């Protein structure tokens, strides 16, 4: 498909500056804005109702405020006929009856009552548990990958892969933070899936680098890497394209519930593809990977490759 | 280089394909709106009741599409929802208090598929609609209750031993017993050692003072008992709600998941889950005529009750003990090997039981199950709450000898009945209060909407990938597309076989798998192209392409698998559904993209001279 040789590794300086800036900005945004966490993690109530006709949000807000529910956020969800109402956890008020009350209030005096589509209530303890489990999942999957790649390749590769993956996660989270997109359980699942995807790309390139090292296709590590990245380039683009296509379909047709999930993965695929080309290999290169690292390994069988 | 598979390999792949196809077929048939009838008591439904139901339905012109009687459960299928609802209302009316009537969506899988165990995927609540509750059991309350019980028992035990204690009371985490002198202290310590082994004596003590606390082992037992009893109670209550296929599971140490598919009225569900129920022990009035009582002449000191089979029975007006005095109930066998239920009462209950049985050996005693049902009805346009007291005699047995704290109830027909009675006795009331800490309700229209949107994005996503592969890899792309379709069939078949729960994120997982699993074929085809460019023959290139790509595919899939497994281990609810489809998709794509596509390539290009490879 592509026979041109692009000097990806030689131009790593620009990629690293770009990624460094991007990661820095993401971290700043995460530090300043934080993540717009959904009720899965913060606790609270969410009520989704559907009307037969478009509905005026201000009217709903007014009736809610009249009943001491003024702190509710009311917004359209997908269409002007669907409304999403969010409530924070409240001290003292039995939150389990809250949804019933909200429905009663917004239906009061209406000829066409709203149809209840979805109610979610998450208590504070459950929210904390979900957040903790999510954090642990991120940690363990990174650790699992570190061990597997170190075992199959070499620790410098493994570290390079983790750097690229963490970069993708930070930048995706940064985008969610900067754009103030809600971060819920499905988005967390998407972030984890993204770790797997981003690695997938990186591993394919590493595999080719290893092969090229053993075949001695070039003299310098830099050249070997560049050849590998170029050889796998058409595959990298093709696979990213197929995944991107299905995600586009999910994003536009999968409905509101899955919207942010698809969005996180769309960001992730773009950055995952970018990082496996521009970050993963240069990172291993800068950690001092060389032909010997991989040759020793072959001679002694697959040991852990630690120096 | 000839590139062909041995015959057995071809046959194996084709057989696997046929098996997977058969097991994925049930998903095409959809559901029948149906009515499910289960026994509300301990005895399963019998043929007689099945005939009753048939007659009731035939008489009102709602015989339905089919009536099945299986495992003590009746299922009546309808072709449309209005008929189903009418029949359910009718049956609820006619079968009141004998059986539970629930609405269900029964898979319309043909019988021959059912016979080989092929069932459609189990849809999660976000797809079929329903309520998910996470309940937290208040363990502190359970411990406090246990402490109260011990406090009462201690006082009684001391009084029985003629010890005039100064005080027995809670102090901080401990129970403090204050006595008059050395001798009393000594006796008390003996009593503690003999009858209160679950109480641990604390070091802390003053003059003629003893401090005890519930031992750690007993605390663990109390907590375990609290959660298991609450689960049984909740299960019984959910059955009363008339929910088909409810899920009640323990989660962690102190939480219970309750999933009620199809339930929309969450207010009612919450109310019933938190409902109170109790038990009473009463002597049977054998002196008066039951028939006269039925006719309206109930004796002054008696009350008229009905047994589970509908038989009227007269019971003494005075209650011997009530359910909150039962500490434990377990099924077992008596000395003669007959099924029995072993009951343990607390101190107060034991004392009353002893007094009654001393004068009543040889007389029958009955166990009455009482529950308070909240019913809301509309009267004159106003919502009115009724608290209905429902009483049922669940067991009648003859008193064999004097007993108090521990006793056996025999006269049960089978070990099954003993187990059910023990369960009912324990399930009478919640052992500890529960609090709803998480609720997720999905309306039926949103559920269907989710299915439709999921299907649409799947079809479009699949179509786009297929198109792209055809354009880029031509005939080989077609092969990859067939392998991709096979992959989807396998994922659906395995999900159906495992009866794993399909959720909306699960559908997203399948869609993502479609995008990712062509990667293996992309790797192989790109490699074949490279080998061709390197000047290899077509047959050699095919061989080398598959051979060299294999290691890469393995590595990249394993890393993906590691992440998916972590996701499965830490994910909850819908996210778990996503992880499941991802894991199955990753594994099966290894098979379809490598082995199956190779088989097809071999069929097309293997074993012959090829001039041009369409790639």
Q: Do A207 and B555 touch (CB under 8 A)?
A: yes
- Regarding whether A167 and A51 lie in a shared domain, the answer is no
| Inside any domain, residue B599 | yes
Tell me the nearest-neighbour CA distance from B269 into chain A, angstroms.
12
Instruction: For the sheet with B99-107, list strands across it.
Output: B66-70, B73-77, B31-39, B99-107
CB-CB under 8 Å, A136 with B436: no
Asked if A57 and A170 sit in the same domain, the reply is: no
Sign of the torsion angle spanned by Cα atoms A203, A206, A208, A214 = negative
A37/B contact by beta carbon, under 8 A: no
- Hey, are the CB atoms on A125 and B437 less than 8 Å from each other? yes
Under 8 Å between Cβ of A176 and A304: no
Q: Say whether residue B189 is in contact with chain A using an 8 A CB cutoff.
A: no
Give the pLDDT confidence score for residue B491 in this predicted structure: 94
Cα B264 to the center of its chain, rounded Å: 18
Q: How far is B471 from chain A (nearest CA, A)?
A: 12
Do B573 and A189 contact (CB within 8 A), yes or no? no
Q: What is the pLDDT of residue B457?
A: 95
Secondary structure string (H, E, C) spanning B276-302: CEEEEEEEECCCCCHHHHHCCCCCCCE
Nearest-angstrom CA–CA distance, B239 and B100: 7
DSSP-derived 3-state class of residue B167: strand
Domain boundary among B220, B236, B253: B220
A243 domain-assigned: yes
Give the closest residue to B154 by CA, choosing from B208, B210, B220: B210
In a domain, A307, yes or no: no
DSSP H or E stretch at residue B194 = helix B182-195
Residue A157 within a domain: yes
Q: pTM score, two decimals?
A: 0.77
Looking at the domain assignment, is residue B267 inside a domain?
no
Q: How many domains does chain A have?
A: 2
Alpha carbon A101 to its chain's center: 36
Q: Are A156 and A133 contained in the same domain?
A: yes
Contact state of A152 with B578 under an 8 Å Cβ cutoff: no
Cβ atoms of B281 and B320 closer than 8 Å? yes
Contact call for residues B171 and B202 (beta carbons, < 8 A):
no
> Would you give per-residue pLDDT tens digits along chain A (307 residues)?
444 578 888 888 899 999 999 999 999 999 999 999 988 888 888 889 888 888 888 888 888 888 877 788 898 888 888 899 988 876 555 555 677 788 888 887 777 788 888 888 888 888 888 888 888 888 888 888 888 888 888 888 888 998 999 999 999 999 999 999 999 888 988 998 898 888 888 999 999 998 898 888 788 888 899 999 999 999 999 999 999 999 999 999 998 889 999 999 999 999 999 999 999 989 988 888 888 777 655 444 444 444 4
**A residues 215-274 lying closer than 8 A (beta carbon) to B:** 231-232, 234-235, 238-239, 241-250, 252-255, 257-258, 261-262, 265
- CA–CA gap between residue B242 and residue B234 (Å, rounded): 13
Work out whether the CA dihedral A33, A76, B261, A97 comes out positive or negative.
positive
Shared domain for A239 and A108, answered yes or no, is no
CB proximity A214 to B under 8 Å: no
Last residue of a domain, one of A122, A157, A190: A122
My answer on whether B433 and B451 are in the same domain is no
Instruction: Tell whether A7 is covered by a domain.
Output: no
- Is B457 in the A-facing interface, judged by CB distances under 8 Å? yes
Query: Among residues B266, B218, B221, which one has the least CA distance to residue B243?
Result: B266
Which of B556, B570, B578 lies closest to A200 in CB terms?
B556
Instruction: Give B521's pLDDT tier (boundaries 50, 70, 90).
Output: very high
Give the minimum alpha-carbon distance from B436 to chain A in angstroms, rounded to a whole number: 7
- pLDDT of res. B186: 86
Kindly tell me if the per-residue pLDDT of B426 is higher than 70: no
B295's tokens: 């006719």
Q: For residue B363, what is the DSSP state?
A: S
Which pLDDT value is given to residue B528? 94
Query: Above 90 in pLDDT, residue B140?
Result: no
Region B432-450: mean pLDDT is 83
Domain holding B162: CATH number?
A: 3.30.70
Tokens of B205: 């003590």
Residue A211 lies in a domain: yes
B264 vs A contacts (CB less than 8 Å): 116
Burial of A128 (0-12, 13-18, 19+ CB in 10 A): middle
- Name which residue leads in pLDDT, B444 or B352: B352
Number of domains forming the structure of chain B:
4
Residues B339, B382 within the same domain: yes
Q: What is the dihedral of CA B100, B82, B75, B391, to 10 degrees?
A: 10
Q: CA neighbours within 13 Å on the CB side: how many for B60?
A: 17
> Which pLDDT score, from 0 to 100, does residue B274 have?
63
Cβ–Cβ of B456/A208 closer than 8 Å? no
Enumerate residues 91 to 120 of chain A having a beta carbon within 8 A of any beta carbon in chain B.
96-97, 99-100, 115-120
Spatial CB neighbours of B373, under 8 Å, sequence gap ≥ 6: B275, B387, B388, B390
- Contact map slice: A 271-290 vs B, CB within 8 A: none
| B434 pLDDT more than 90 | no
Interface confidence (ipTM) of the complex: 0.88
Q: Quick one: pLDDT at residue B98?
A: 66
- A3 within a domain of the structure (yes/no): no
Secondary structure string (H, E, C) spanning B32-95: EEEEEEEECCCCCCCHHHHHHHHHHHHHCCCCCCEEEEECCEEEEECCCHHHHHHHHHHHHHHC
Q: Which residues contact B369 (CB under 8 A, 6 or more apart)?
A: B277, B279, B391, B392, B393, B394, B424, B428
Q: What are phi and psi of B395, to 5 degrees?
A: -160, 140
A227 to chain B nearest CA, in Å? 13
The yes-or-no verdict on residue B221 having pLDDT over 70 is yes
Do B426 and B351 sit in the same domain of this protein?
yes
pLDDT score recorded for residue A234: 92
**B486 in any annotated domain:** yes
Same domain, A84 and A130: no
Structure letter (DSSP) for residue B119: -
Looking at the fold, whether B431 and B448 belong to one and the same domain comes out as no
Residues B307 and B337 in one domain: yes
Flag whether B456 is in a domain: yes
Residue B273 has pLDDT above 80, yes or no: no
Q: What CATH number did the domain enclosing A106 receive?
A: 3.30.70.3400
Are residues A70 and A139 both part of a single domain?
no
How many angstroms separate the CA of residue A110 from the nearest CA in chain B?
Answer: 17
In a domain, A4, yes or no: no
Q: B444-457: b or e for each residue (b if 16 or more CB lie within 10 Å)?
A: bebbebbbebbeeb
- Same domain membership, residue A199 and residue A111: no
Q: Does a structural domain hold residue B236? A: no
Q: Name every chain B residue with its beta carbon within 8 A of the beta carbon of A99.
A: 266, 439, 441
CA atoms within 13 A on the CB side of B18: 5
Q: How far apart are CA B569 and CA B284, in angstroms?
A: 55
CATH number of the CATH domain containing B520: 1.20.1640.10
Given this model, what pLDDT does residue A2 score?
44
Render pLDDT for B370-383 as a digit per residue (tens, 0 to 9): 665 544 444 554 44
One-letter-per-residue 3-state SS of B329-357: EEEEECCCCCEEEEEEECHHHHHHHHHHH
| Phi, psi torsion values for A29, nearest 5 degrees | -65, -40
Q: Is residue A5 part of a domain?
A: no
Under 8 Å between Cβ of A96 and A65: no
Decide if B424 contacts B394 (C-beta within 8 A).
yes
Tell whether the model's pLDDT for residue B335 goes beyond 70: yes
Residues B286, B373, single domain; the answer is: yes
Q: Residue B327: in which H helix or E strand, if any?
A: strand B326-333
Chain A within 8 Å of B323 (Cβ-Cβ)? Answer: no
End-of-domain residue from the set A80, A103, A122: A122
Cβ pair A246:B264 closer than 8 A? no
Instruction: Quote the tokens at residue A40.
Output: 């899965």
Same domain, residue pair A75 and A92: yes
Distances (CA, A) of B524 to B591, B598, B603, B615: 13, 10, 17, 11
* One domain, residues B419 and B477: no
Q: Are residues B465 and B536 in the same domain?
A: yes
Please list every residue in chain A whose beta carbon sits closer than 8 Å to the beta carbon of residue B562.
141, 144-145, 148, 196
**Which residue, among B499, B516, B500, has the nearest Cα to B588 in the 3D structure?**
B516
pLDDT reported for residue B43: 67
Residues on chain B touching A133 (C-beta within 8 angstroms): 570-572
What percent of chain B shows pLDDT beyond 70?
89
Secondary structure class of A286 (helix, strand, coil) = helix
Judged by CB atoms closer than 8 Å, whether chains meet at A117 and B556 is answered as no
Last residue of a domain, one of B201, B220, B239: B220
Q: Which two tokens stand for residue B382?
A: 């106003």
Based on the domain organization, do B365 and B379 belong to the same domain?
yes
Q: Which domain holds residue A73?
A: 44-122
Residues B593, B512 share a domain: yes
Query: Which alpha helices (DSSP H) does B428-503 contain, by range?
Result: 444-498
Out of A48, A145, A208, whose CB is closest to B562? A145
Is the pLDDT reported for residue B244 higher than 80? no
Better-scored residue on pLDDT, B73 or B275 = B73
Instruction: Tell which of B65, B93, B108 closes a domain.
Output: B108
Provide the sign of the torsion angle of the four alpha carbons B38, B40, B44, B50, taken in this order.
Answer: negative
Q: What is the band of B524 on the pLDDT scale with cuts at 50, 70, 90?
A: very high
Q: Do A189 and B578 touch (CB under 8 A)?
A: yes
Mean pLDDT across B95-109:
76
Residue carrying structure tokens 């969010």: A86
Taking an 8 Å cut-off on Cβ atoms, the answer to whether B566 and A120 are in contact is no
Q: Is the pLDDT of residue B294 over 60?
A: yes
Same domain, A81 and A111: yes
Whether residues B396 and B415 fall in one domain: yes
pLDDT of res. B129? 86
**Domain shared by A48 and A179, yes or no:** no
Work out the mean pLDDT of chain B and round it to a whole number. 83
- Same structural domain, B370 and B487: no
B70 against B250, higher pLDDT = B250
Confidence of residue B419 (pLDDT cuts 50, 70, 90): low
- The residue with greater pLDDT, B431 or B427, is B431
Q: Are residues A110 and A195 in the same domain?
A: no
Whether residue B316 is contained in a domain is answered as: yes
Q: Which of the listed residues A62, A95, A122 is the one where a domain comes to its end?
A: A122
Which residues in B293-326 are b (16+ Cβ under 10 Å) and which e? beeeebbeebbbbeebeeeebbbbeeebbbbebb
Please identify which residue in the block is written with the tokens 């009307």: A51
Rounded mean pLDDT of B500-518?
89
In this prediction, residue A299 carries a pLDDT of 44
Check residue A33 and report its DSSP letter: T
B222-241: b (≥16 Cβ within 10 Å) or e: bbebbbebbbbbbebbbeeb
Which of A90, A75, A82, A89 is closest to A118 using CA atoms?
Answer: A82
How many A×B Cβ pairs under 8 Å? Answer: 226
Task: Mark yes or no for CB contact A185/B573 under 8 Å.
Answer: yes
The pLDDT score that the predictor gives to residue B62 is: 85
Name the residue among A137, A208, A255 with its Cβ closest to that of B567: A137
Q: Is residue B126 part of a domain?
A: no
For B478, phi then psi, to 5°, come to -60, -45
CATH of the domain at B91: 3.30.70.260
| Domain harbouring A207, CATH code | 1.20.1640.10
- Structural domain includes residue B378: yes
Asked if A54 and A23 sit in the same domain, the reply is no
Query: Which 3 state secondary structure label does DSSP give B454?
Result: helix
- Which range of residues forms the domain containing residue B402? 275-440
Q: How far is CA A79 from CA A114, B334, B470, B583, in A?
A: 14, 67, 36, 34
The continuous run of DSSP H or E covering A104 comes out as: helix A98-107
How many CA atoms does the CB half-sphere of B588 hold within 13 Å? Answer: 26
Q: Which helix (H) or strand (E) holds B9?
A: helix B7-24
Parallel, antiparallel or unpaired: strands B277-284 and B312-322: antiparallel
């Amino acid at each position: 498909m592509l026979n041109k040789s692009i000097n990806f590794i030689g131009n790593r300086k620009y990629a690293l500056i770009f990624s460094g800036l991007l990661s820095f900005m993401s971290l700043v945004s995460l530090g300043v804005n934080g993540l717009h966490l959904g009720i899965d993690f913060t606790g609270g109530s969410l009520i989704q109702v559907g009307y037969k006709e478009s509905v005026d949000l201000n009217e709903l807000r007014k009736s809610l405020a009249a009943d001491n529910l003024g702190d509710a956020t009311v917004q359209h969800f997908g269409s002007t006929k669907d409304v999403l109402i969010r409530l924070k956890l409240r001290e003292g008020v039995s939150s389990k009856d809250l949804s019933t009350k909200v429905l009663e209030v917004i239906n009061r005096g209406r000829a066409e009552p709203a149809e209840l589509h979805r109610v979610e209530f998450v208590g504070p303890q459950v929210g904390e548990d979900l957040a903790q489990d999510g954090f642990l999942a991120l940690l363990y999957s990174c650790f699992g990958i570190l061990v597997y790649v170190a075992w199959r390749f070499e620790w410098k590769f493994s570290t390079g892969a983790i750097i690229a993956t963490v970069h993708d996660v930070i930048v995706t989270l940064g985008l969610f933070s900067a754009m103030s997109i809600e971060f819920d359980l499905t988005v967390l699942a998407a972030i984890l899936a993204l770790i797997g995807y981003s690695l997938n790309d990186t591993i394919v390139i590493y595999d080719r680098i290893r092969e090229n090292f053993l075949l001695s296709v070039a003299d310098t590590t830099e050249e070997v890497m560049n050849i590998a990245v170029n050889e796998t380039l058409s595959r990298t683009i093709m696979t990213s394209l197929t995944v991107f296509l299905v995600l586009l379909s999910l994003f536009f047709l999968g409905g509101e519930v899955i919207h942010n999930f698809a969005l996180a993965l769309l960001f992730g695929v773009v950055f995952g593809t970018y990082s496996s080309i521009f970050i993963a290999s240069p990172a291993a290169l800068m950690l001092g990977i060389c032909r010997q690292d991989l040759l020793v390994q072959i001679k002694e069988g697959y040991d852990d490759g630690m120096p | 280089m000839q590139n062909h598979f041995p015959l057995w390999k071809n046959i194996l792949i084709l057989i696997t394909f046929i098996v997977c196809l058969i097991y994925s077929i049930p998903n095409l048939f959809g559901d029948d709106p149906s009515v499910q009838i289960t026994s509300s008591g301990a005895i399963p439904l019998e043929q007689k009741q099945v005939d009753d139901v048939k007659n009731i339905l035939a008489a009102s012109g709602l015989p339905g599409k089919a009536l099945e009687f299986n495992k003590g459960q009746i299922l009546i299928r309808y072709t449309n929802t209005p008929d189903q609802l009418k029949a359910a209302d009718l049956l609820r009316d006619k079968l009141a208090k004998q059986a539970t009537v629930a609405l269900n969506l029964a898979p319309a899988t043909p019988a021959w598929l059912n016979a080989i165990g092929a069932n459609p995927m189990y849809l999660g609540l976000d797809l079929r609609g329903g309520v998910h509750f996470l309940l937290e059991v208040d363990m502190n309350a359970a411990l406090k209750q246990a402490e109260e019980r011990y406090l009462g028992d201690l006082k009684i035990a001391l009084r029985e031993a003629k010890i005039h204690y100064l005080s027995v009371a809670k102090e901080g985490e401990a129970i403090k017993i204050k006595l008059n002198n050395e001798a009393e202290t000594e006796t008390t310590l003996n009593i503690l050692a003999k009858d209160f082994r679950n109480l641990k004596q604390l070091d802390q003590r003053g003059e003629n003072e003893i401090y005890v606390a519930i031992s750690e082992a007993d605390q663990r037992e109390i907590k375990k008992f609290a959660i298991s009893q609450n689960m049984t109670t909740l299960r019984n209550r959910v059955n009363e709600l008339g929910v088909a296929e409810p899920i009640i599971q323990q989660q962690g140490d102190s939480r219970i998941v309750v999933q009620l598919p199809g339930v929309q009225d969450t207010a009612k569900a919450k109310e019933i889950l938190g409902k109170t129920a109790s038990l009473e022990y009463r002597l049977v009035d054998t002196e008066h005529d039951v028939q006269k009582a039925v006719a309206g002449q109930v004796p002054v000191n008696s009350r008229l009750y009905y047994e589970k089979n509908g038989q009227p029975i007269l019971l003494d007006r005075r209650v011997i003990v009530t359910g909150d005095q039962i500490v434990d109930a377990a099924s077992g066998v008596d000395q003669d090997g007959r099924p029995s239920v072993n009951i343990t009462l607390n101190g107060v209950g034991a004392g009353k039981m002893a007094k009654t049985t001393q004068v009543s050996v040889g007389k029958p005693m009955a166990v009455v199950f009482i529950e308070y049902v909240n019913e809301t009805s509309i009267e004159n346009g106003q919502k009115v709450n009724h608290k209905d007291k429902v009483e049922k005699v669940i067991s009648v047995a003859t008193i064999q000898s004097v007993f108090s704290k521990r006793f056996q109830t025999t006269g049960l027909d089978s070990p099954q009945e003993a187990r059910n009675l023990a369960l009912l006795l324990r399930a009478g009331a919640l052992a500890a209060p529960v609090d709803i800490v998480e609720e997720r309700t999905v309306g039926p229209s949103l559920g269907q909407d989710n299915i439709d949107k999921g299907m649409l994005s799947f079809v479009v996503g699949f179509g786009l990938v297929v198109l792209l592969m055809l354009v880029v890899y031509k005939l080989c792309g077609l092969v990859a597309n067939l392998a991709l379709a096979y992959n989807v069939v396998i994922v659906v078949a395995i999900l159906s076989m495992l009866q794993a729960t399909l959720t909306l994120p699960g559908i997203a997982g399948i869609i993502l798998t479609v995008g990712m699993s062509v990667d293996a074929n992309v790797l192989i085809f790109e490699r074949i192209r490279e080998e061709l460019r390197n000047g290899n023959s077509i047959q050699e290139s095919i061989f080398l392409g598959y051979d060299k790509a294999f290691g890469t595919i393995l590595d990249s899939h394993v890393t993906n698998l590691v992440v998916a497994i972590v996701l499965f281990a830490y994910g909850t609810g819908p996210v778990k559904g996503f992880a499941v489809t991802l894991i199955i998709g990753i594994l099966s794509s290894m098979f379809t993209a490598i082995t199956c596509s190779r088989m097809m390539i071999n069929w097309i290009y293997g074993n012959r001279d090829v001039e041009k490879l369409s790639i």
